[in-house]
Structure 1
Amino acid sequence: MSKRSIAIFMFLLGLLAAFGELFGIDFPTARWFFESSRDVPLLKWDLGKGEFLWFGWLSSAILVCAGSFMLVKSFTGGPPNPVALRRARRFREIRRGYVSLLILLGLAGFASLDQMVVGKEALAVRYEGKWFFPAFTPKPYKGSDFGIGGELEDAPVNYRKLKRDFRKNQTGGRVIMPLIPFGSTDDTLPPRSRALVEKQGVHHETGSRKPYFGLAARYHDIEKGDLHLRYTMRNGKLSGAVDGWDALGERVYTAEYAKGEKVKEKFSGEGTVEDFLAIESGEIRALKYHPSPPILGESEKNWLGTTSQGYDVLAYLYGGLQVNFKAALIFLPIVYLVGIVIGMLMGYLGGWFDLVMDRVIEIFSNMPFLFVVIILSSMVPEQFKGLPVILTILMLFGWMGITSLMRTAAYRDKERDYIAATRVLGAGTPRIIFRHLLPNTVAIIVTLVPFTMSSLIFSLTALDYLGFGLPPEYATWGRLLNDGLSNLSAPWLVSSTFFVLVGLLVLITFIGEAVREAYDPKKFSYYR
């Protein structure tokens, strides 16, 4: 990806964020700056008459200005550096790293699609000849907007149910859902179920020849998860306790079965037990409480199962991927900006500034990281917790690594002939540092970026696993891993988390190794 492409992307992202906020359009990814500003009290100002989302506007302005500056420089900056071109060509020759970079960029692009891929809001709804776009509208629609009456008239719309209703009633309405029609968080699903097939008095799960063992149920309303009868099955036959609920959710029936035969029963509801059992409540289905295994072949597929909270695992993994990329986009520029500036000043100026900053680095290096995180997390009020807070804590410790390397590079290069020549020509300290010293340290910076990113992802995952990371409204891989280890009978939780986490870290490591080899100064640079 060229500098010009990056500049255009930054410019358009900032422009879309500002445009969407002004005109009430939730563009994928671009909406995140203003959403974060709304959710975190520290990122907005209360002006009495309304809120000023300073973080959202500042982020948009920085993206537009930085993109514009880089775009202008790409046209006026002269021909590209031949050494940089040779390094890029060498990087492309290292197929493992180059392919890993393409895959990582593809994942980043996929994650940037946001609510177009994963979400419980419909992308588009056609009702009475009009089109609505709930996923791109900040204000949620109510049930009355789509002809839903009763107690759900003023409630937010369940678009998955609305799609089934349109299809069942054939009213001409249409609902277009995302590829994965579940939210990453805040979308708890009812207990899942799968159709059972009866053959010669023995029940089997659809697609299986083995007799079914476990819980089964009939439903008053399968979409809401309202149970009518819940059975226990062994070897494909009713065996054990049976419980029944009326339409109001009151438990009114109990029974006991043995090898498919009723042993005893008790009914305490209105009417007769025969009338209660004769209620039409659909087919008997295998009942899967959360965390439920992957369910395919149904109208709503859970490809990787559900978590113990009732979230779709695939949607949750996607949300965790988004969190990791967002964290990297915030963490890396700030940490490297601070570390590079302080390190270059320490190496070039030396003296008291170098001594003071060395002592500061020693103090921070000897602080127990986990204890500091625990203390700061307990001190932050619940309403202020979020991604900015945890990233700030990580930034307090993350700038020291690049600082030490830049200090060493500045100490090494400040006595070289080309720096002496710039002093003779009258260049000031800022120009020498950022115009002449900094370009000769690009190899160090570029080589370190992938490993810093993998360290950030690992740190976020570890903190979330231990319970000191992001709050529950964020989808995080560490919390999913903790959920899996707490429910070892649900191996799909640990296996899916392990696969995506290790896969992402391996991709970044391959990229880092390829960059390190391509930017090896011994191959292209010769200086005194």
Structure 2
Amino acid sequence: MFRKIGWILLVGALLSVAGELLSLKLPTLRWSFEVSREMDWLNWGSGDRPFLWFGWLSVFVSIACGILLLFKFPRDFQFTPITQRRIDRFRSIKRGHRAFVIVGFLALIASFDHLLVGNEPLLMKYDGKFYSPALQRFYERDANGDDVIFKGKHFGLSGDEAEAAPNYRRLKKTFKEEQDGNWLVMPLVPYAPTQDTVTVPTMELETREDGLLYRPGAGDPYSGLAAKIYDLDDPGRMHLRYRFREGLKDGAADGWDKTNNRVYGAEYSKGELISESWSGEGDVKAFLTTNSTPLNIIFYAPSPPSLTMGHLLGTTPQGYDVLAYLFGGLQVNFKASLFFIPAIYLIGISVGLLMGFFGGVFDLLVQRLIEVFSNIPFLFVIIIVSSSVPVQIKEKSGLGVILLILIIFSWMGMTYLMRTAALKEKARDYVAASRIIGCSTPRIIFKHILPNAVAILVTLVPFSVSGLVMGLTSLDYLGFGLPPKYATWGTLLKEGLSNLSSPWLVSSAFLCLVSLLILVTFIGEAVREAFDPKKFTYYK
């Protein structure tokens, strides 16, 4: 298993380097370079091509860890009998093992990144040439050698759309209508988690033989607003809007010209025209018969779930696709865990072992310091520190700032356990033997004492992950967490409780959050039971 992890780290690092050198946006592997590119303090230099030291440092660490695992665990490596029995015990606990497989599958799905959920095509053909905006960072290099990003003008768009990023969903529809050999393939969910406001969904209504208006497949006549639209790609430009009651026009009606000026007004009662007004140019009859769509329902954000409209879980108040937003939130949780867990364990383990091994004044001072910080309400401190960070820094650094704040106040809990383990282990004979043969203090601590405390560390990891997920969700729900450019489940919960008339928001976020926490808890319980020393101890 460890050799497989080593190969994954090594191959992943090499692919990340290749992607950066070839200007490719490889899923997940691009993340360290993208973060280094977005945050000024994680790169050196200025201009279009600064030195991304954080990205290259991440690659170096991945390669070093991969090589270390490959040399540390050769092909003939075997776990000790006790460790193997613990692993077998974990596999025998079906609930925990199945939860581990599910979480691993979710991590694999999240690693596909923008190849699975994104608003850029995986592959497209235009004017006989093939492109992959989802994987290519740049469209081409100009005569000066500068990088040119994808713009609408590269695919035949004009006007304001020419200098903006293309709307590939609309471009796909245009290619299909023109039928000139151009095509593109979008990801499975063709929406980005954030910063991608979708076109307002619409549903065409039907007039049946009885002369009444119905929803498709509905048994009762329609009651509510319905509108004729100039262009379905821009539902905000309505032509005519009517109120219906039990399938008949009833109430006020309005009309707008193509420049979005209100020029028509009318009043209906049970399908009969009572009065009308006209302030536009030309004949009112010509206006009413202007070419526009049939009557549609316009679902303004947040819109309800609908398979026909392409939004399985509806949209958020900002107009984002909920399914894509949930996927983005899952990615944020996994990315945060990859940095948060190693950081707090590195600090907590080191401090705890040093406290237990050296004792004395050092142990006393550090204990008092930890007790002071531990007695301060954790969430309140995080809120105060987070709110004091300037908005510009939080917008720029995003996840890094929040993780740094959480790491500063999250490492202290495990120091007591590691201190106790160090106090117990340093009194054993093997530590005394190590001292006699001349082992250095760092070697005794990290080579002899630490491996005997692994059981404690392994059992804590799942619960640390669940604590991180709850911490991020709480901060985002209270408004002190990540900036809006990140998709977070806490923000979706907040929006759902603010829009109780849209129950799909809060229900989807709640189910995802609770499901992930339950899975992680099942894993933690199984690991704790599998590594319980009493399972392999017999007393006379």
* TM-score, length basis structure 1: 0.96
Confirm or deny that 1:145 pairs with 2:170: no
Instruction: Give me the whole-angstrom Cα distance separating, in 2, the residues matched to 1:151 and 1:56.
Output: 35
Query: Which deviates the most, 471-480 or 67-76?
Result: 67-76
Contact 1:41 1:384 in 2 (8 A): no
| Aligned match of 1:34 | 33
446, 467, 483: which one pairs with 1:471? 483
195, 199, 211: which one pairs with 1:186? 195
* Corresponding residue SS for 1:135: coil
Query: Which deviates the most, 180-189 or 71-80?
Result: 71-80
Q: Tell me the amino acid that sits aligned with residue 65 of structure 1.
A: A
Confirm or deny that 1:318 pairs with 2:288: no
Q: Tell me the amino acid that sits aligned with residue 212 of structure 1.
A: Y
| Aligned match of 2:285 | 274
Tell me the percent identity. 53
Query: Which deviates the most, 28-37 or 303-312?
Result: 28-37
Query: Which deviates the most, 103-112 or 365-374?
Result: 365-374
| Aligned match of 2:452 | 440
Instruction: Give me the whole-angstrom Cα distance separating, in 2, the residues matched to 1:165 and 1:465.
Output: 40
Confirm or deny that 1:163 pairs with 2:177: no
Pairwise mapping of residues 323-334 of structure 1 onto structure 2 (< 5 A)? 323-334=332-343
Instruction: Give me the whole-angstrom Cα distance separating, in 1, the residues matched to 2:202 and 2:75.
Output: 63
| Aligned match of 2:222 | 212
Contact 2:386 2:405 in 1 (8 A): no
Offset at 1:49? 7.6
Deviation string, structure 1 residues 494-521 (Cα, Å, up to 9, x no partner):
1111111100000000111111111111
410, 414, 437: which one pairs with 2:422? 410
| Aligned match of 1:368 | 377
Query: Which deviates the most, 280-289 or 249-258?
Result: 249-258
CA RMSD of aligned residues (A): 1.7
| Aligned match of 1:117 | 116
Deviation string, structure 1 residues 3-52 (Cα, Å, up to 9, x no partner):
11111222222222222122100000111112222222332233468422
Offset at 1:153? 2.2
In the alignment, structure 2 segments of 5+ residues that lack a partner are 139-148
| Aligned match of 1:3 | 2
| Aligned match of 2:297 | 286
Offset at 1:231? 2.3
Pairwise mapping of residues 240-389 of structure 1 onto structure 2 (< 5 A)? 240-298=251-309, 301-385=310-394, 386-389=398-401
Deviation string, structure 1 residues 407-448 (Cα, Å, up to 9, x no partner):
111112211222222222222211111111111111111101
Instruction: Give me the whole-angstrom Cα distance separating, in 2, the residues matched to 1:228 and 1:194.
Output: 16
In the alignment, structure 1 segments of 5+ residues that lack a partner are none
* Corresponding residue SS for 1:30: coil
* Corresponding residue SS for 2:134: helix
Q: Tell me the amino acid that sits aligned with residue 432 of structure 1.
A: I
Instruction: Give me the whole-angstrom Cα distance separating, in 2, the residues matched to 1:227 and 1:12.
Output: 54
| Aligned match of 2:144 | none
* Corresponding residue SS for 1:75: coil
* Corresponding residue SS for 2:205: strand
Change in Cα spacing, 1:90 to 1:458, as seen in structure 2 (3 Å) is same
Instruction: Give me the whole-angstrom Cα distance separating, in 1, the residues matched to 2:265 and 2:4.
Output: 67
Contact 1:40 1:384 in 2 (8 A): no
473, 477, 482: which one pairs with 1:461? 473
Count of residues in Structure 1 that have an aligned counterpart in Structure 2 = 524
Contact 2:383 2:475 in 1 (8 A): no
Offset at 1:353? 1.3
Q: Tell me the amino acid that sits aligned with residue 198 of structure 1.
A: T
| Aligned match of 2:145 | none
Instruction: Give me the whole-angstrom Cα distance separating, in 1, the residues matched to 2:538 and 2:366.
Output: 31
Offset at 1:395? 0.6
Offset at 1:404? 1.4
Offset at 1:198? 1.5
Query: Which deviates the most, 363-372 or 398-407?
Result: 363-372
Contact 1:40 1:383 in 2 (8 A): no
* Corresponding residue SS for 1:255: strand
Offset at 1:269? 2.1
